[in-house]
Amino acid sequence: MKNINQSKKVNVTKVFNEVFSKYDLMNDLMSLGAHRAWKNRLIDWMSPKKNDHLIDVASGTGDVAKAFLKKIKFSGKVKCVEPNKYMLSMGKNKLKNSERVKWYCSPAEKLPFKDETFDIYVVSFGIRNFSNINLALKESRRVLKTGGRFLCLEFSKVNNEILHGIYKRYSKIIPHLGKYIVGKSEPYEYLVNSIDEFYNQDELLKIIKSNGYENVEYRDLSGGIAAIHSGWKI
């Protein structure tokens, strides 16, 4: 298994400070517009129940929280945890009419909640930016109730040779598009590199299992451009 430096030579906070105002557009660029369909697949596999309590870590602007509440007809509760204060502000404004969503500015490695608080923990396009993935996974398990579920949606490794070639070529132009849209290419270069350097599906599965989760599995999306991992606290 590759050794990824979780201390992050690149300042992730600085990267997102530079792109937060175009965050949703950034996701469109990185996923060829597919991230919305992927998030719907995430919610479908999550299969939340009435009154479930969700923690959404690295919540961005709150897309997953919104979809979760819609799925269970606004009967549950969500705690959105976002380490970037500017992104958090955008999310709060986007979901300002939802009384069932509370926002917290905190890193994934030190969550401000008691043990066994949540039914479901979800992280969407955030785990590769964690400064310490193992510590964050231990925290995720701590705050989940026994019987609770961990779900992770993340860019992954394409498993089709033709599609891999196409996506690889497209990835090379993303920084140029970023420069055109937000005036800077460097944040997008980091994001492209972070995807390329991150674990593949099976490597990430092993890491999740090594941090105490059971029945860990994954589903590829769009030929492996992204994947959803699932595990249970038993």
Kindly write down the DSSP assignment for every residue of 106-130, as one continuous string.
--TTS-SS-SS-EEEEEEES-GGG-
Question: Which is nearest to 125 in space by CA: 215, 38, 219, 33?
Answer: 38
Three-class SS state of 1: coil
What is the pLDDT at residue 135?
98
- The Cα–Cα gap between 106 and 81 comes to 6
Whether residue 5 is contained in a domain is answered as no
The range of the structural domain enclosing residue 55 comes to 12-232
- The Cα–Cα gap between 88 and 60 comes to 7
Burial of 165 (0-12, 13-18, 19+ CB in 10 A): exposed
Whether residue 121 is contained in a domain is answered as yes
CA distances (Å), origin 121, targets 21, 68, 139, 161: 26, 12, 10, 33
CA distances (Å), origin 192, targets 52, 55, 170, 230: 34, 27, 10, 24
Whether residue 53 is contained in a domain is answered as yes
Whether residue 183 is contained in a domain is answered as yes
What is the pLDDT at residue 71?
95
Whether residue 52 is contained in a domain is answered as yes
Per DSSP, helices labelled H in the chain are 12-19, 23-31, 35-46, 63-71, 85-94, 133-143, 161-182, 186-197, 201-210
Whether residue 134 is contained in a domain is answered as yes
What is the pLDDT at residue 1?
53
The dihedral through the CA atoms of 185, 186, 192, 196 has a sign that is: positive
* Residue that has been written with the tokens 């019987």 in this structure: 147
User: In the chain, how many domains are there?
Assistant: 1
What is the pLDDT at residue 175?
85
> Could you tell me the CATH number of the domain that includes residue 158?
3.40.50.150
Predicted TM-score (pTM) of this structure = 0.89
Instruction: State which residues of the chain have pLDDT below 50.
Output: 3-7, 9-10
Whether residue 7 is contained in a domain is answered as no
Whether residue 101 is contained in a domain is answered as yes
